[in-house]
């Protein structure tokens, strides 16, 4: 039985790095114009309708098991129920959209890769994005280049250097926001091994050798990554500029190590053992 965290607030689990990166993002002078263009062109509505056309909506009569897991996750994290969809895609992933009308999309391959318990972690992760108010900024990040072109051409005359700085601020926040969402995932599935096992399964991908995976060995690998020699750190820095600059998600080993660190800090237990309903 998983505990329902009635009265849970985003501030209870938002990571400090996410909060600071979002603060920096909100200070960008161009941000209000990007938000304005995003709404002016009806992009939120367009993406919602596009998803509705391409995916299958879950409900009591459609993908009943997944829908019930979804409803339970909403109850655990005390989040109003967003719409849930399944879409065919061979690359395991999930995402959230819809500023005005939030929805979560699970790709078919993520459902085939993960156990039911790990699906709690994935849906909890996506609900964490909604609860933490990430969806507007994620949606803008998804169509940032055309939005920047619109604003740059018509309003600011932004050069490439300025645009790269804005892009980098979005990417940095986006990566930090994942750590917040991972915490919500753990709060939903309520088992560290389940959460880390999900990262392992998604990193390795589905295969006929999946029964031979070993979580302890993977966690050792994540620790080894964090503890590499100074020479290797230089390599990591080069890699960051090649890969990290453009990446919207942190590397899976970093996420595994970070969720373990957060759990071991006692923060997870503090939330699970708290009674937030009395505070409200």
**What is the rounded CA–CA span in Å between residue 14 and residue 253?**
20
Residues between 157 and 186 with contacts to Zn ion, criterion CB under 5 A? 178, 181
The percent of the chain in helix, strand and coil, each rounded to the nearest 5, is 70, 5, 25
In the bound state with Zn ion, the residue whose beta carbon lies nearer, of 44 and 121, is 121
**Residue with nearest beta carbon to Zn ion:** 181
Residues between 220 and 259 with contacts to Zn ion, criterion CB under 5 A? none
In the bound state with Zn ion, the residue whose beta carbon lies nearer, of 96 and 190, is 96
Distances in Å between the Cα of 33 and the Cα atoms of 38, 39, 44, 46, 144 are 8, 10, 15, 19, 12
In the bound state with Zn ion, the residue whose beta carbon lies nearer, of 22 and 30, is 22
Contact 82, 175 (CB under 8 A): no
Q: How far is the CB of 89 from Zn ion (least distance, A)?
A: 16
Q: How far is the CB of 196 from Zn ion (least distance, A)?
A: 16
Quote the radius of gyration of the chain (alpha carbons, Å). Answer: 19
Count residues near Zn ion (CB under 5 A): 2
3-state class of 192 per DSSP? helix
Distances in Å between the Cα of 206 and the Cα atoms of 6, 47, 115, 197 are 35, 29, 12, 13
Q: How far is the CB of 95 from Zn ion (least distance, A)?
A: 7
User: Strands across the sheet with 103-107, in order?
Assistant: 56-57, 83-87, 103-107, 94-97
In the bound state with Zn ion, the residue whose beta carbon lies nearer, of 178 and 258, is 178
Q: How far is the CB of 105 from Zn ion (least distance, A)?
A: 12
Q: How far is the CB of 104 from Zn ion (least distance, A)?
A: 10
In the bound state with Zn ion, the residue whose beta carbon lies nearer, of 43 and 181, is 181
Q: Which residues bind Zn ion (CB under 5 A)?
A: 178, 181
């Amino acid at each position: 039985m998983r505990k329902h965290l009635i009265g849970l607030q985003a501030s209870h689990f938002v990571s400090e790095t996410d909060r600071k990166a979002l603060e920096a993002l909100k200070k960008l002078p161009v941000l209000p114009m990007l938000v304005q263009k995003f709404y002016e062109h009806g992009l939120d509505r367009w993406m919602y309708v596009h998803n509705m056309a391409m995916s299958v909506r879950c409900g009591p009569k459609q993908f009943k098991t997944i829908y019930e897991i979804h409803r339970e996750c909403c109850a655990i994290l005390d989040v109003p129920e967003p719409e849930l969809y399944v879409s065919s895609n061979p690359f395991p992933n999930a995402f959230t959209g819809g500023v005005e009308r939030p929805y979560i999309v699970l790709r078919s391959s993520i459902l085939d890769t993960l156990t039911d318990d790990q699906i709690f972690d994935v849906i909890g992760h996506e609900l964490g994005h909604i609860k933490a108010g990430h969806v507007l900024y994620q949606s803008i990040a998804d169509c940032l280049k055309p939005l920047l072109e619109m604003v740059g051409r018509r309003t600011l005359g932004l050069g490439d250097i300025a645009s790269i700085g804005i892009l980098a601020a979005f990417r940095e926040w986006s990566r930090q926001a994942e750590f917040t969402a991972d915490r919500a995932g753990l709060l939903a599935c309520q088992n560290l091994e389940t959460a880390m096992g999900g990262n392992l399964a998604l990193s390795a991908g589905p295969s006929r050798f999946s029964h031979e995976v070993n979580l302890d060995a993977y966690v050792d690998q994540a620790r080894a990554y964090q503890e590499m020699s100074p020479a290797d750190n230089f390599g990591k820095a080069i890699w960051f500029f090649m890969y990290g600059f453009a990446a919207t998600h942190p590397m899976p080993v970093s996420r595994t190590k970070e969720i373990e660190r957060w759990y071991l800090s006692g923060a997870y237990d503090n939330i699970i053992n708290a009674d937030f309903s009395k505070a409200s």
